[in-house]
Structure 1
Amino acid sequence: MQLDETDHKLLGLLSENAREPVATLARKLNLARTTVQARLDRLENSGAIAAYTVQLGEIARPRLRATALISIEVRAGPSVLQKLKTLPAVETVHTCSGRFDLIVQLAADSTAELDDTLDSIGEAKGVNSSESLIHLSTRLSRTRT
C-alpha cells in the first residue's frame, strides 16, 4: 500500500492526538468525515496504523531511564532476547549496526532496580559486553509510539 500526502497528514494529526474525533480530523483535513473514516479503516487494515496508544507525561513516567548498548556472541541473539524479555525494566530492544548489536531502552523506579537490571544484562549468557547510559533530562521528544 502506498501512502499519499493526505495519509501522511492524517497520521501526523493522529500522532499529535490519537483521540482526536474523526469529525475534527475531517475539518482539519478539509475532507468529509466518511472519507476520513474510510482512510483510517484502510490504514488500520493495511498495518500502517498498528495501534493507538498512550504517551505518558513526565509525571507518570518512571523516574530513571537508561539505554544499554550490548555486544553479543555470534548466534546468541535469540537467547539474549529471551533473557531481556524477562526483565521488567526493559521497555524496547533494537538491533543496530556498529560496534554494538543491541540497543536496550530501560525504565526503573529506583537506582537499585536499574542496577539489578544492568547486572542481569551483563551476566546473561551470550552477552560479551555492555555499556549503559543514564538519561538525565529530555530536551526534545518527537517520540511517536
Structure 2
Amino acid sequence: MDDLDRHIIGLLGADARISVATLARRLKVARSTIQARLERLETNGTIAGYTLKLGDAGRQGRLRASVLLMIEPRTQAACLTRLRAIAEVERVFTTSGRFDLLLELSAPNTQVLDQVLDQIGSMAGVKSSESLIHLATKIDRAV
C-alpha cells in the first residue's frame, strides 16, 4: 500500500459514499487510476466494505495505538476537523474523566506513527497527550 492508497482510504474513511470522479479530482489523478486502485484494494482484501472496514490484508503489519488527548475548552470542533484530515486516525471517541478525546490510530511503521503523534501533539488546542502502543491482541470481540 502506497501513499495514494492511504489517501484513497483516508478520503473514503471520511465519506464512504464519495464518487470515483470526486476522488480522482481531489487526488489529482485519472479516474481510471482510482478505479483500478479500488478494484485492487477490494480484491486483495484491504477494503472489506464501504463503511470503510480494513480487512486482514489492510491491517496486517500495521502498528496500532491509542492516544488520549486533553484539549483546550471550546476547541473540540476545530480539533476534530484537523483529526479527520489525518488518514492514520481511524476512530475518535469523547471520554469522561481527565482526558477529552480517545483516538485510535493505525500506521504502517514507527516513523509514520511518530510523525502522526508529533502532528497531533502540536495541533492548536491540544494541551497534552498520552500515547499507548498496542502490542498484542488477547481478546477481540469486535464485529
Q: TM-score range by the shorter chain?
A: 0.5 to 0.7
Aligned counterpart, 2:63: 64
RMSD of equivalent CA atoms: 1.7
Q: Which amino acid aligns with 1:87?
A: I
One-letter identity of the residue aligned with 1:73? E
2:100 is the alignment partner of 1:120:
no
Gaps of 5+ in 2: 1-49
Listed as ranges, the gaps of 5+ residues in structure 1 are 1-50
4+ long deviations beyond 2 Å: 51-57
Q: Aligned letter for 2:108? A: D
| Rg larger in structure | 1
TM-score, normalised by the number of residues in structure 1 = 0.60
1:96 positional shift: 0.5
Identity of aligned residues (%): 45
Taking the TM superposition and a 5 Å limit, the aligned residue runs for 1:1-145 are 54=53, 56-57=55-56, 59-61=57-59, 62-144=61-143
TM-score by length of 2: 0.61
Aligned pair count reads 93
Counterpart of 1:21 in structure 2 is none
C-alpha distance in structure 2 between counterparts of 1:60 and 1:54, whole Å: 9
SS of the equivalent of 2:99 reads coil
